[in-house]
Amino acid sequence: MRNFFRLLELMRPQLGFMLLGALLSLLALLANISLLAVSGWFLTIMAMAGLTGASINYFTPGAVVRFLAIVRTVGRYAERVITHEATFRILAQLRYYFYQKLEPLLPYYQVQFQSADLLTRMQQDIDNLDNFYLRILLPAVVALVSVPLVCAAVAYFSVSLALVLALVLIILGLGLPYVSYLWARSQQQEKLNLNNQMQLGLVDGIFALRELVMYQVAERYQVSMLQLSSRFLQLELALQQKNSVSNLVNFLLVNALVLCSFIILVPLAAAGKLAPEYIASLSLLMLVSIETVMALPLACQLLPQTLASAQRLFDIVDMPVPHFNQGPDGLNNTVAIQAGAIAFNHLSFSYPGQQTYSLTDIHVTIQPGQKVAIIGPSGAGKSTLVNLLMGFWPTAAGQVTIAEQDINGFSKASLRQHIALMSQTGHIFNATIADNLRLANPDATTADMVQVCQQVGLGDFIASLEFGIDTWLGETGAGLSGGQKQRLQLAQVLLRDSRVLVLDEPSKGLDGLTEQKMMDEIFSHVNAKQQTLMMITHKPIMLQQMDLILVMAQGQIIAQGDHTSLMRTNEYYRDLLDYF
């Protein structure tokens, strides 16, 4: 039940709407029950008056019936408006809460997170939580208040009938749903797991469709998805059959309750202990009183699924954020980072749960304005080195400093402003080219954006588009080739006013001529702005112009120097140039 109370705590800001919705729902329900009971009594006395010729005042009962009908209609409408408004506000708040918790975790756990899984949690699991208030919490609160009120009203006429009513309502509201839940629990859990598998499979399949066709495994993928879908439909059919049985039992109990009311009330009326006109009224009240618990079976069915979705969300947000060292005042510094050398001082690092070091005793200093290339085979530790410089993980053994200040003490905003990173996992949003560029620099003018696009070789392409830089791109940059996406991400980095540029394979996917031209533009840009350049690469292009080249292998810097010295001393470097 811990997740239940955590959800309640998250919904506290919408408590006013939630309570108002519950009050209106209770008011509409009681008005509906009263309407049918009063109508039954009114029709009975009118029939008795017609048979006996007695005169009665039908204006007052008629006015009561009209009043209750209006209250029921208006109350039902207002209840729908308020409860749905509360639900939408809750969902918006939950999405904001989840994103706020997720965003700081991404740098540390991005390798563990699958985009399809995150999409499922942010979309489907949060959508499942809309049941929590509207279909679980609200019916439970209304039943908790209305059942005692209705039973108390019936007890005024017959305590025996009130006890029977209370027993049937408990069976219908709690007993039968609980038995149904136990009966279908394993199938419900399997259905939820299958649904998640289909979501992940569909999202991954859509993004990998080209590769599936290329490697001729699309048919195998289709068969696997059809198997999941077929099993899901079988479970859905089985659950619907069990639900039908539950509805049958519900129907029989309701009719048995009405029959029981006649069995109890008719002898009371015959003995003169109950006015005859109340028999029809109370019997109809028995029938409509089922509405007090009518929504509880569905609530019991939805509760496990809703709490399971909540658990999937909390599993993410409860992940620990690595602890960073703090400044002497106990807070991360918010002052701007001063220009200065970047130093890796005997740095060693291993990821959580990893037995071996990803980096071992890295010791190197990069002076302001230097152009540095980091080369080495895959898995050598190049990206890990950059991640530590960006502050994605705290450094425990050794130190990374900028202008002789430990980067763990800087605020993340200051560090991101000082260092601009182009990674291999950059994202292009479903927006215009200009909007994607403004993410890097919100103050950039159209002229600035056009200029930087020209620098990375996108100028002619953008000029050929009907709407130019205001052209909309699809999800993840649909409409751009792989090389164009790469250059657009590079344009974002160049547009930032940062002292240090870190580029991870900036020329990946480009042909030789385009690559040479783009690298010339990058060098002109950093030279003009006197920026420090760090570039991870597997290609030897432009290495002759680098001030410092770091050769890494197995988490260590095995050689460093300029092009000339490495050609003389390092075999890996010579082989790299010979290969290309």
The DSSP secondary-structure symbol of 337 reads: P
Residue 310 lies in a domain: yes
Q: 375 with 311, same domain? A: no
Give SS3 for 363.
strand
Q: What is the DSSP letter of 380?
A: S
Q: What is the pLDDT of residue 34?
A: 92
Asked if residue 573 and residue 431 are part of one domain, the reply reads: yes
Pair of tokens at residue 99: 């994103």
DSSP of 21-90, one letter per residue? HHHHHHHHHHHHHHHHHHHHHHHHHHHHHHHH------HHHHHHHHHHHHHHHHHHHHHHHHHHHHHHHH
CATH number at residue 421: 3.40.50.300
| Cα–Cα distance, 452 to 525 (Å, whole number) | 10
Identity of residue 357? Y
What is the distance between the alpha carbons of residues 226 and 233, in angstroms, rounded to a whole number? 10
Residue 382 and residue 301 in one domain? no
Computed from CA positions of residues 148, 154, 160, 166, in that sequence, does the dihedral angle turn out positive or negative?
Answer: negative
Measured in residues, the chain has a length of: 580
309 and 376 share one domain: no
* Per-residue pLDDT, 332: 45
472 lies in some domain: yes
578 Cβ contact partners less than 8 Å away, ≥ 6 residues apart = none
Same domain, 555 and 407: yes
Token pair for residue 262? 């006649």
Q: Are residues 147 and 8 in the same domain?
A: yes
327 part of a folded domain:
no
Who contacts 229 (Cβ-Cβ below 8 Å, separation ≥6)?
Answer: 198
Rounded distance between C-alpha atoms, residue 99 and residue 90, angstroms: 14
List of residues 6+ apart from 16 with CB closer than 8 A: none
**Alpha-carbon gap, residue 504 to 441, rounded angstroms:** 20
Q: What one-letter code names the amino acid at 511?
A: D
What is the average pLDDT value for the chain, to the nearest integer? 85
Instruction: Kindly state whether residue 332 falls inside one of the protein's structural domains.
Output: no
| Distance (Å) of CA 570 to CA 54, 59, 383, 579 | 117, 106, 22, 15
Q: Are residues 54 and 108 in the same domain?
A: yes
Please tell me whether residues 313 and 360 are part of one structural domain: no
- Rounded Cα distance between 442 and 417, Å, is 13
8 A C-beta contact, residue 119 and residue 203: yes
Residue 362 maps to a domain? yes
Please tell me the distance from the alpha carbon of residue 425 to that of residue 536, in angstroms, as a whole number: 14
Of 317, 351, 381, which residue is a domain's last?
Answer: 317
* Greatest extent of the chain over all pairs of C-alpha atoms, in Å: 123
How many folded domains does the chain comprise?
Answer: 2
Nearest-angstrom CA–CA distance, 46 and 54: 9
Question: Tokens at residue 551, please?
Answer: 């050769």
What CATH number is attached to the domain comprising 296?
1.20.1560.10
| Distance, CA of 216 to CA of 434 (rounded, Å) | 38
Q: Which value, to the nearest 10 degrees, does the dihedral of the CA atoms of residues 36, 39, 43, 44 take? A: 70
335 within domain boundaries: no
Contact criterion met (CB below 8 Å) for 395 and 456: no
Element (H, E) at 552: strand 548-553
pLDDT 10s digits, 146-177: 999 999 999 999 999 999 999 999 998 888 88
Give the tokens for residue 229: 């879908």
Q: How many CB atoms lie within 10 A of CB 184?
A: 20
User: How far apart are alpha carbons 499 and 530 in whole angstroms?
Assistant: 8
- Name the token pair of 514: 């385009």
Write down the pLDDT at residue 112.
61
DSSP 91-131: HHHHHHHHHHHHTTTHHHHTTT--HHHHHHIIIIIHHHTHH
Same domain, 309 and 415: no
Instruction: Identify whether residues 296 and 443 lie together within a single domain.
Output: no
CA atoms within 13 A on the CB side of 275: 9
Low-confidence ranges of the chain (pLDDT < 70): 107-117, 322-336, 352-353, 509, 541, 578-580
End-to-end CA distance of the chain: 62
* Nearest CA-CA partner of 101 in 353, 315, 326: 315
| Alpha helix (H) residue ranges in 156-295 | 159-170, 176-207, 209-214, 218-270, 277-288
The pLDDT value recorded for residue 260 is 93
Long-range contacts of 299-303 (CB under 8 A, 24+ apart): 299/135, 299/136, 299/139, 299/140, 299/177, 300/174, 300/177, 300/178, 300/180, 300/181, 301/177, 301/180, 301/181, 301/184, 301/188, 301/243, 302/131, 302/135, 302/136, 303/136
SS3 label, residue 457? coil
- b/e sequence 292-316, b meaning 16+ C-beta within 10 Å: bbbbbbebbbbbebbbbbbebbbeb
Kindly state whether residues 264 and 403 are assigned to the same domain: no
**Do the domain assignments include residue 325?**
no
How far apart are alpha carbons 263 and 267 in whole angstroms? 7
Residue 526 host element (H or E): helix 512-529
| Domain range enclosing 381 | 342-579
Answer yes or no: is 328 within a domain.
no
431 shares a domain with 307: no
> Residue 573: what pLDDT?
81
- The residue to which tokens 């990674």 are assigned: 423
Q: Answer whether 283's CB lies under 8 Å from 265's CB.
A: yes
